[in-house]
Every structure is written in structure tokens, then in C-alpha cells.
């Protein structure tokens, strides 16, 4: 499916080497201030121009708002945005037709669709398509700003290097002034070294990103099947290369005694809150007024220059694949921006469902 959300709904379209990719966003109230600069800001954040090996050409995205916005404000009608694919070299992928890349969606798409899929650049499964999610996330972030909610993320692991420094949300925000949003400078240097090493070896690396949402009101989420953590997990795992989701302290909670894992309930300035937040701001699938936070782990990029074993499906015989095209040595930095976007979409959708943002009156 290419649809996501209930009250705030998005539909994405396009393939990596097609004419364009894009998104239609439905459910946005009329009157929300929205300009090209809001979308440009988020798209620019996924470029990482300070690290040439991550984005050698570093050309800005070309996009166009087709509908739903007039005179800098939303109209309450579907917002359609296209992002043009200008920098494609499809000839790199001629060798890959019916020779699926190990670890990539090529094989799964072939088994499901036969010859009727676009393998160039990864087609519909490409990380390129997350740019459409980032556009939708830009709109969702504007909606959340009405409630004072902020969403920000950072990289916590890359190429086996983990951060070890304690940090605050302000530290995460400040980290975006660095080449990559990493709060620990020593870890950042080691991560950059791992990127260079992987490029030199013709290989790729994975890692993990963490997202925080602050000023989230209590009561978002529903019991059982529409839990906020379930929707966040679905959103996160929809991003290419995502392999694991961890709410709050996550796996570490499984290794604790209950008395240690539980967050004490206390009074904070006249309201009920949590003394700690190992739960990630969610209990019973519903937000409790604390920051919502979670981690997502991403596997290394499947496309590498090292020889890999596959099968030539036309001849049904073994084949050694050596990829010669352009590829991202790691998906984590760009995936982080998409992860922020999906988080904002989930929270804005639930805020609309809860009536905290009204569709029947001007937004803002």
C-alpha cells in the first residue's frame, strides 16, 4: 500500500528513476501557513552537503506544489507536491535486470510482480522515495507547531560506533549544526572515519537513529490496535532499510527487574508525571505528557561494489554481481530525516483524531 494515516492521510507515488516522485496530503485544515520555504528547509536537511561522500553533487531538490495551497496558506483541500528526478543515470542498472542485488528488494519485487517492476535505482523501494515522506513531514510539523510540539532526531550509532555522552533535547538540536547530527564529538569523528573506510573498501554501513518529540499532550493513541507506539513502529518500519524499532529504553527494559524498569509516578508543578522516562512517554499505547522517544535500527545499504553472489533469473544460473552505479554508503542520515517526518505524521494524525487540532476551523 502507498497510503498512510487516518485523519491526516498521505499517498506517495513514483520510482527512483521515473520522471518524478511525489505525495498527496489530505486532511490538513484550511488556513495553515505553508510556503515553499517550509518544504525546502526539510528537504535540505536530508542532503548533508558537508560530507561529500554522502552526497557528492549536492544539488538542491526541484519540487513543485501543485495544489492545496494559495497565497501561502492551505485551502483545506488535498496538497499535492512533486519532486523531479533530474540526476539519474539509468544505464548503471542495465546489468541488474533479473540479477537481483542481495539484501535489496529486487528479488521480492520480481517474485511478486514478475517483469512488471522498475528496478532502476531500486525503483519504488529506493531510499530516494523517502523525499516524499519528508515533504509530508514538513506539513505535519507545521500542524504540530500549533500545539507547541517539536520533533527532532539524531544519530546514535553508525558503522559500529555508538555515542557514549549523556544529552538533552537541546543538545540534539545543537548537533544539527555539525556535519551529521551526533551529540558526541568523539563518536562523530569515528563515524566519519567509518564512512570513509567503507567507501574505500566499496562497502556500506548501518546504524541507528533516535527521535524525540517534546511537548506532546497526554491522551494521544488508542487502546489495543491503534496504540501510538504501534503506529510509530509501523511508520518507522515503512522506511527503507529499517530493521528494528525500540520504544524508550526498549530492549534494555527486558533485562531489568520490574522495580527498576518502572518509571515512578510523581507530581510535577501540579500535574502528574514520570520521574524517569524509560517508557518513552507512552503507557498502554497512550501518551502521558512526557517526551516521546524511540530508536530505529537500519541495515547497511544493500548496493555495494564488492562482488556478491546472486542468480541470473533469465538463465537460472549463478552470477557474480559487481555493482558499478552510485549508491549511498549509509542510509542512516537521510533515513533519520524521514523518521522525523513519519513521527510528525503519526502525532499530527492522532492530534486530529483527538480533536486537539480542528479541521472545521482555520489552523494556526
Q: Whole-model pTM?
A: 0.94
Distance between CA 119 and CA 15 in Å, rounded? Answer: 9
Distance between CA 233 and CA 227 in Å, rounded? Answer: 10
pLDDT at position 157 is 99
CB 212 within 8 A of CB 336: no
Establish whether 326 is an annotated binding residue.
yes
pLDDT at position 168 is 96
SS3 189: helix
Establish whether 284 is an annotated binding residue.
yes
Angle between helices 332-353 and 36-45 (to 10 degrees): 140
- The two beta strands, 242-247 and 271-274, are unpaired
- The two beta strands, 242-247 and 73-74, are unpaired
pLDDT at position 56 is 59
SS3 337: helix
Establish whether 315 is an annotated binding residue.
no
Establish whether 299 is an annotated binding residue.
yes
pLDDT at position 303 is 85
CATH 3.60.150.10 fits 3-353, yes or no: yes
- If residue 143 lies in a helix (H) or strand (E), which one and from where to where? helix 130-145
Establish whether 181 is an annotated binding residue.
no
Establish whether 179 is an annotated binding residue.
no
Establish whether 318 is an annotated binding residue.
no
pLDDT at position 363 is 64
Establish whether 124 is an annotated binding residue.
yes
pLDDT tens per residue, the chain (364 residues)?
589 999 999 999 988 777 889 999 999 999 999 999 999 999 999 988 778 777 755 668 899 999 999 999 999 999 999 999 887 666 667 677 788 889 898 889 889 988 877 776 666 777 788 999 999 999 999 999 999 999 999 999 999 999 999 999 999 999 999 999 999 999 999 999 999 999 999 999 999 999 999 999 999 999 999 999 999 999 999 999 999 999 999 999 999 999 999 999 999 989 999 999 999 999 999 999 999 999 999 999 988 889 999 999 889 999 998 887 777 899 999 999 999 999 999 999 999 999 999 877 666 6
Distance between CA 105 and CA 113 in Å, rounded? Answer: 12
Distance between CA 185 and CA 195 in Å, rounded? Answer: 15
Q: Where are the domains of the chain?
A: 3-353
On the CB side of 16, CA atoms within 13 Å amount to 19
pLDDT at position 359 is 77
Establish whether 301 is an annotated binding residue.
yes
Establish whether 241 is an annotated binding residue.
no
Q: Is the backbone of residue 91 left (phi > 0), alpha (psi -120 to 50) or beta?
A: alpha
Establish whether 126 is an annotated binding residue.
yes
Amino acid at each position: 500500500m502507498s497510503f498512510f494515516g487516518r485523519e491526516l492521510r498521505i499517498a506517495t507515488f513514483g520510482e527512483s528513476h521515473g520522471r518524478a516522485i511525489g505525495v498527496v496530503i489530505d486532511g490538513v485544515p484550511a488556513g495553515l501557513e505553508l510556503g515553499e520555504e517550509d518544504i525546502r528547509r526539510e528537504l535540505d536537511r536530508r542532503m548533508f552537503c558537508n560530507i561529500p561522500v554522502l552526497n557528492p553533487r549536492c544539488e538542491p531538490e526541484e519540487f513543485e506544489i501543485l495544489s492545496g495551497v494559495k497565497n501561502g496558506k492551505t485551502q483545506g483541500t488535498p496538497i499535492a507536491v512533486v519532486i523531479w528526478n533530474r540526476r539519474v543515470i539509468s544505464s548503471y542498472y542495465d546489468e541488474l535486470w533479473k540479477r537481483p542485488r542481495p539484501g535489496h528488494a529486487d528479488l521480492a519485487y520480481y517474485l511478486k510482480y514478475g517483469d512488471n517492476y522498475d528496478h532502476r535505482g531500486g525503483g519504488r523501494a529506493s531510499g530516494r522515495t523517502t523525499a516524499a515522506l519528508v515533504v509530508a513531514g514538513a506539513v505535519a510539523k507545521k500542524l504540530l507547531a500549533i500545539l507547541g510540539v517539536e520533533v527532532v532526531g539524531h544519530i546514535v550509532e553508525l558503522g559500529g560506533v555508538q555515542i557514549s555522552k549523556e544529552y538533552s533535547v537541546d543538545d540534539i538540536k545543537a548537533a544539527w549544526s555539525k556535519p551529521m547530527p551526533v551529540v558526541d564529538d568523539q563518536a562523530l569523528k569515528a563515524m566519519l572515519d567509518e564512512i570513509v573506510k567503507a567507501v574505500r573498501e566499496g562497502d556500506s554501513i548501518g546504524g541507528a537513529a533516535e527521535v524525540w518529540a517534546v511537548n506532546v499532550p497526554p491522551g494521544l493513541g488508542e487502546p489495543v490496535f491503534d496504540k501510538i507506539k504501534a503506529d510509530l513502529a509501523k511508520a518507522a518500519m515503512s522506511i527503507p532499510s529499517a530493521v528494528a524499532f525500540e520504544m524508550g529504553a526498549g530492549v534494555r527494559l527486558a533485562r531489568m527487574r520490574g522495580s527498576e524498569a518502572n518509571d515512578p509516578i510523581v507530581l510535577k508543578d501540579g500535574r502528574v508525571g514520570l520521574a524517569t522516562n524509560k517508557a518513552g512517554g507512552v503507557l498502554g499505547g497512550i501518551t502521558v505528557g512526557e517526551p516521546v522517544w524511540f530508536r530505529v535500527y537500519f541495515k547497511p545499504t544493500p548496493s555495494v561494489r564488492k562482488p556478491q553472489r546472486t542468480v541470473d533469473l533469465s538463465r537460472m544460473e549463478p552470477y557474480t554481481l559487481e555493482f558499478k552505479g552510485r549508491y549511498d554508503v549509509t542510509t542512516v542520515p537521510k533515513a533519520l530525516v524521514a523518521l522525523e517526518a513519519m513521527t510528525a505524521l503519526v502525532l499530527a494524525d492522532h492530534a486530529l483524531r483527538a480533536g486537539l487540532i480542528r479541521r472545521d476551523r482555520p489552523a494556526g
